[in-house]
Amino acid sequence: MTALGRARYSPQMSDRTEAQPADPDRIRRIGGISEIADPYDVLICDVWGVLHDGTVAYRGAGEALRAWRAAGKRVILLSNAPRPGASVAEQLLRYGYQAGPEGHYDQILTSGDATRAAIAGGSYGQKLLHLGPERDAPLIEGLPVSLGSLDDCEFVLCSGLYDDERETVTDYEDRLQAMAGRGLTMLCANPDITVMRGSKTIYCAGALAARYRELGGEVVYFGKPHPPVYAQCRALARTLMSAPGDKQTPTPRLLVIGDGLHTDITGAQRAAIDSVLVLGGIHADALGFADGVDMAAVDPVALRQVCARAGAIPDAIIGRFVW
């Protein structure tokens, strides 16, 4: 049994083994991650919605990361950002988060990195149609591909909406139907459906991918909640915990923290990893949560309903990621 109360991952279990979900009425409510940190070696930490909201860093998150690492533990940032990890690291610097021995985290894994690797393999073709904003250009920078049109592309790379401040999925209906008519495969570089940018809901690539599937289109997803990225996390955790000077832990004990039930918590549950849901992210409105709300006041009925709709249940909930 784990610290959060039910059977979990053992070395003999497959990375695709899905653990039994917790009873929603027994989810632990915590005020800070320090309350449950002791048994774990590596934190797999979401970025957007946990460390920042797309406009500012969340108060207390940086201190929580430093305190976790000061206890001899490691931090892997796992992001569905449709950009290479190096690009995300640059963005995090603007919010005050640094990598390295004296910084806030050890490594970043992104869905963008996984997408780049798949495109570089060449199995999807060399000419693509890119659905997404110009800021995601690093996703294909330096790869042996060229940009095509809807008429001549061999596959579609979806990293988001062209103008996610103004557009919604319905603006892409004709384009998606035409893609499905051609039988094009879509590579989804960000499975998130929505994120919060400040107080505004922004549609992500996952929303377009979901509609494309409804139209009969084929979608290949990279990132959370899909199993390969958690296998990568396990391998990276073993590497981090076997470095000179560390505890030499052959099977590190992992903990996931994130604000998305459909991505962070579902992925952790499928990979049999304990998880903590941050309430102040994309589910805040549905849960009736706002900063300053006592965790004991979170409506258990609303929590049960939100978890049921997502088909995922965290082991613990926390208002914001703080120590």
DSSP states of 241-268 as a string? TTSTTS---SS--EEEEES-IIIIIHHH
Of 221, 245, 264, which closes a domain? 221
Task: Indicate whether 165 belongs to any domain.
Answer: yes
pLDDT tens digit at each of 323 positions of the chain = 355 643 333 322 233 345 555 567 789 999 999 999 999 999 999 999 999 999 999 999 999 999 999 999 999 999 999 999 999 999 999 999 999 999 999 999 999 999 999 999 999 999 999 999 999 999 999 999 999 999 999 999 999 999 999 999 999 999 999 999 999 999 999 999 999 898 899 999 999 999 999 999 999 999 999 998 999 999 999 999 987 765 667 789 999 999 999 999 999 999 999 999 999 999 999 998 888 778 878 889 999 999 999 999 999 999 999 99
Residue 321 is predicted with a pLDDT of 98
Same domain, 141 and 186: yes
Same domain, 195 and 271: no
Task: Indicate whether 65 belongs to any domain.
Answer: yes
Task: Indicate whether 19 belongs to any domain.
Answer: no
| C-beta atoms surrounding 170 within 10 Å | 8
Please give the span between the terminal C-alpha atoms of the chain, in angstroms, as a whole number. 24
Task: Indicate whether 176 belongs to any domain.
Answer: yes
Residue 246 is predicted with a pLDDT of 58
Same domain, 313 and 246: yes
Task: Indicate whether 95 belongs to any domain.
Answer: no
**Range(s) of the domain holding residue 187:** 119-221
Residue 265 is predicted with a pLDDT of 97
Give the CATH number, domain containing residue 298: 3.40.50.1000
Same domain, 209 and 233: no
Of 167, 188, 221, which closes a domain? 221
* Beta-strand relationship, 155-158 and 107-110: unpaired
Same domain, 152 and 214: yes
Of 221, 250, 265, which closes a domain? 221
SS3 for 124-164 is CCCEEEEECCHHHHHHCCCCCCEECCCCCCCEEEECCCCCC
Task: Indicate whether 97 belongs to any domain.
Answer: no
Task: Indicate whether 9 belongs to any domain.
Answer: no
Bridge partners for 157 per DSSP: 130, 187
Domains identified in the chain, total number: 2
Query: Which residues are within 8 A (CB) of 29 and not within 5 positions of it... i.e. 6 or more apart?
Result: 295, 296, 298, 316, 317, 318
Same domain, 181 and 230: no
Task: Indicate whether 90 belongs to any domain.
Answer: no
Residue 198 is predicted with a pLDDT of 87
